[in-house]
Structures are given as structure tokens and as C-alpha cells.
Amino acid sequence: MLENKKFNQSFNKNVNFDYLLYLPKNYNKNEKFPLLVFLHGAGERGDDVALAGRHGPFKYAKEGKEYPFVMVAPQCKKDKYWGNYLESLDLFLDEIIKKYNIDESRIYLTGLSMGGTGTWHWLMANPERFAAAAPVCGAGICWYACRIAHKPIWVTHGDNDQTVAYFESVNMVEALKKSGGEPVFTTLEGVGHNAWDYAYTDELTEWFLKHTL
């Protein structure tokens, strides 16, 4: 017997992320600030939230570099990946916006490796939330690139990456272009998986700030 059925049920969802927070020196409660959301890689999962800042902009912030935006880095649980948490990340972002003075027209998304993949997937799920995104050595869903072709996207990948294949970014960039997109694509010649040491530059920071919703 074949029947058409509907499933409709409300759930109470408990969302629990430890996260790192960076506030600019001039942060105050009377002004709206841009926000950068950073998704770490697979090696930084677990219960020690300090690991979430081992690479990328939080690493440089710990070394004394100053950034012009609020930054948050949620930590993914052990043996999970960011795809497990897309709806939870949306709720987390809602809370960050409520808790800190965030300009919702200037929310930026980036991540590396597993976090680069998470950047692609979260951007595809909710492109209306982000003014720009910068996936670093991640893997997207190229047949769905049309959904985000209109977004400012800067892709960085090493062409000798043996962990997340370089062609993953090539395919995404080509798919974006076929859908009318104009992504920035930085190929790091001879570089392996560690593209992040090259990606998080002052130029990228300035590029983010050029974009608003």
C-alpha cells in the first residue's frame, strides 16, 4: 500500500556551543559592529575551546593583531562536523547578535578545512545572513552553487593539498562562474593542506569590510 503522509511536530532544541570571543578595542554598546564568524578545522574539535583559536584570525589576535570586527569561533564537538550543526549554528548566531552590538548587514563567514566545508554549507543553507564569505581549503556542493553565486566569495586552496583535494575548490569556483558569480580564487602553488597561514591577511580583512547586505 502506498500512501501520502505528513510529518509535523515541534521540538524544543538545546543548543550548546563553547566559543571564543574577540572584541575590538573600540567596542562599545552604543555602536553597531561588523561580525566575523570563524569555523575551525577537524583537528580543533572537542571540549577545549582554546583549540578553536589555534589557527586563523584568532591565532593572530592572540599574538596581538587587532581586528575591526567582533569575532566568534564556536567549537565543534568531538567526532562531529559542522554539517551536524547548521540549524544550531543559526540559533547560535541569533544569540550572538542579541548579546553583542552587531550590524546584521555586515556579518562575514570564514573557516578552514572542515570549517571551510562548513562555510560553504552554511552559506548555501542561509545566504541571506552573510555579506561575504571566505572558505579556505574546503569542499562545497558544486551543483548547488547557483544558490550563492550572487554572494561575494573569496576561495583559497593549495594545489598540492592531499587532505581536501584542490579540485573541490576548482569545481566550486567554476560552478559559481557558470551561474554568473564572480568569486575571488587564490591558488597557492606547491602548498599542501595548510592554506590558512596564507589566507588570513590584511587584504582579506579589508575585502570583508567592503561588503554589506
pTM: 0.95
pLDDT digits (tens, 9 = 90+) for 104-122: 999 999 999 999 999 999 9
Rounded Cα gap, residues 141 and 7, in angstroms: 27
pLDDT digits (tens, 9 = 90+) for 69-78: 999 999 999 9
Query: Which residue in 42, 133, 39, 123 sits closest to 79, CA to CA?
Result: 42
pLDDT digits (tens, 9 = 90+) for 33-48: 999 999 999 999 999 9
Q: What is the pLDDT of residue 209?
A: 98
Residue 56 has pLDDT above 80, yes or no: yes
As a CATH number, domain 19-206 is 3.40.50.1820
pLDDT digits (tens, 9 = 90+) for 129-167: 999 999 999 999 999 999 999 999 999 999 999 999 999
Residue 11 has pLDDT above 90, yes or no: no
Domain ranges of the chain: 19-206
Residue 94 has pLDDT above 90, yes or no: yes
DSSP of 116-165: HHHHHHHHHH-GGG-SEEEEES----GGGGGGTTTS-BEEEEETT-TTTT
Q: Across all residues in the chain, what is the average pLDDT? A: 96
Q: What is the pLDDT of residue 54?
A: 97
